[in-house]
Amino acid sequence: MILEVGIDLTMNRGQKLLVPVGIPTPHQTPVSFSVDGGDIRLTGEVTTGQVAALITPSDYDRLTLKYAFADGGSGYPDIMFAPRKNRFTKAADALVSGVREIADGAPDGHRAIERIVNAVAERFSYGHPDIRFNDGLDEVPYLACGLTEGSCVDINTYLIANLRAAGLEAGYVYGYFFPEEKQGTCEDGHCWVVTRHEGVVLEWDIAHHLKLGTREICCGLNPRPGMRVATSHSMGLTFPELGIVETKLLGEPAWVGPDGALGQAALDIRCVSPGKTAVAA
């Protein structure tokens, strides 16, 4: 089966649009990407080898992006699990000490991952704060006590830093999640974390558990019923052709400014095959 995703957005004339084109997962494979209302060429990200579409708008009032994903996939890209130190992934010394205490008490690596995931969930309440917990910092700080408000991006930034500080393989994935109750539409992107230990790949979505009112986190996607697709991975991305150096992520389509700054685009996102569930709930 093919799952199709369409995104409409109002043009920002004079700027080009940078768009992730999809990555394979164990559940899906991206099979096509196209645009109505613009011309496409490809540009490369140098730390992960990902390729993104750079779109020059034409004379239409709106752009429409179209993705198609086929059921089944080869798995997450191996490069996604490789640690790359930048200000979005490097753990502060206090965080390293704290997470190693959690991991060292576990009987094995799988149990250590589970303990770390649940410890991170205890640090956050779900929300979209104006100031993120790591804004302006060169490393991911230790959250010692209390609750910190954070989005899925914030929570998973902290989770990745913890897992890698404990010497465990973990990757950050970005895409779109279509809640069952919204019948094939969503307002913005979503992210999740994937761990790999002794050949076992597990997926974790703390934010959705918090939205459901629980901090008892189990592995697996879609604790909230719905469907999702993956469009990109990793944090601290560099597109040298565009003057973009260590941007936090390329999740949703973004306008590229003359200085390489990325600006948020207003999106209308829909799953145009809403009867098919992309990842089983």
Q: Could you tell me if 206 and 129 lie in one domain?
A: yes
**pLDDT tops 70 at residue 77:** yes
Q: Could you tell me if 55 and 108 lie in one domain?
A: no
Q: Could you tell me if 164 and 248 lie in one domain?
A: no
Nearest C-alpha neighbor of 216 from the set 228, 201, 204: 204
**pLDDT tops 90 at residue 139:** yes
Which pLDDT does position 187 carry in this prediction? 87
**pLDDT tops 70 at residue 275:** no
Name the residue range of residue 20's domain. Answer: 2-78+238-271
Residue 192 lies in a domain: yes
Residue 261 lies in a domain: yes
Residue 279 lies in a domain: no
Q: Could you tell me if 73 and 90 lie in one domain?
A: no
| Window from 150-154, 249-253, 257-261 with minimum mean pLDDT | 257-261
**pLDDT tops 80 at residue 280:** no
Which pLDDT does position 32 carry in this prediction? 97
Q: Locate the DSSP E strands across 151-189.
A: 169-179, 185-186
Q: Could you tell me if 96 and 225 lie in one domain?
A: yes
In this structure, what CATH number is given to the domain that contains residue 153?
3.10.620.30
In whole angstroms, give the CA distance from residue 232 to residue 25. 11
Residue 223 lies in a domain: yes
Q: Could you tell me if 71 and 86 lie in one domain?
A: no
pLDDT tens sequence across 14-37: 789 999 999 999 999 999 999 999
| Window from 84-88, 180-184, 234-238 with minimum mean pLDDT | 180-184
Residue 278 lies in a domain: no
How would residue 276 be classed by pLDDT, with cut points 50, 70 and 90? Answer: very low
Average pLDDT of every residue of the chain: 92
The domain total for the chain is: 2
In whole angstroms, give the CA distance from residue 195 to residue 281. 19
Q: Could you tell me if 119 and 139 lie in one domain?
A: yes
Q: Provide the residue type at 176 as one letter.
A: Y
Residue 274 contacts by C-beta under 8 Å, 6 or more apart in sequence? 178, 183, 184
Residue 211 lies in a domain: yes
**pLDDT tops 60 at residue 142:** yes
Residue 90 lies in a domain: yes
Q: Locate the DSSP E strands across 118-168.
A: 124-126, 148-150
Q: Could you tell me if 212 and 127 lie in one domain?
A: yes
